[in-house]
């Protein structure tokens, strides 16, 4: 089963793997806006390796596969709004179906990814909760 959704993309010169931590210092206005948008939503964005041979309206184009990053912590470094420090964790991998060129600030893509990984994780967490090895509330 696959799900399709639109998410903002952060092209980087690194690969993020599922369950890998990724701290980032955000200072460019377009990426500060991306973080603000994520914090108002579900806290997730896509991380893709930069495709050095392509661009979208003058922006770095992403490779067509990536990993969803979930923001776990966000701090204004100097309390002046010029730099943010975020801590993220890699979640699921995804494949880009369509790149939506940035109208104003953020590059977004339409993605689809396997829900199988999510379902397996939810089953695992339910078992732990039933065995009372952890406290975790599933939505």
- Give phi and psi for 47, each to the nearest 5: -115, 120
Q: Of 111, 33, 35, whose CA–CA distance to 74 is shortest?
A: 35
What is the band of 102 on the pLDDT scale with cuts at 50, 70, 90?
low
**Per-residue pLDDT at 128:** 53
| pLDDT above 50 (res 137) | no
Q: Sketch out the chain's domains with CATH numbers.
A: 2-130 (2.30.130.40)
Helix (H, G, I), strand (E, B) or coil at 16: coil
Instruction: Please write the tens of the pLDDT for every residue from 35-67.
Output: 988 999 999 999 999 998 887 777 778 999 999
pTM of the predicted structure, to 2 decimals = 0.70
Give every CB contact of residue 103 below 8 A, 6+ residues apart in sequence. none
Q: How far is CA 92 from CA 63, 78, 111, in A?
A: 16, 32, 11
Closest CA to 70 of 33, 110, 24, 104: 24
């Amino acid at each position: 089963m696959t799900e399709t959704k639109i998410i903002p993309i952060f092209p980087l010169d690194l690969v993020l793997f599922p369950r890998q931590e990724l701290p980032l210092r955000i200072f460019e206005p377009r990426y500060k806006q991306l973080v603000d948008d994520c914090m108002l939503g579900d806290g997730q964005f896509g991380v893709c390796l930069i495709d050095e041979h392509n661009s979208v309206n003058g922006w770095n184009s992403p490779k067509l596969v990536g990993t969803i990053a979930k923001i776990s912590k966000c701090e204004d470094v100097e309390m002046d709004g010029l730099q943010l420090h975020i801590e993220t964790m890699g979640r699921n991998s995804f494949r880009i179906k369509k790149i939506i060129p940035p109208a104003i600030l953020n590059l977004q893509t339409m993605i689809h990814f396997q829900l199988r990984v999510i379902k397996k994780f939810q089953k695992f967490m339910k078992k732990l909760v039933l065995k009372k090895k952890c406290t975790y509330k599933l939505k």
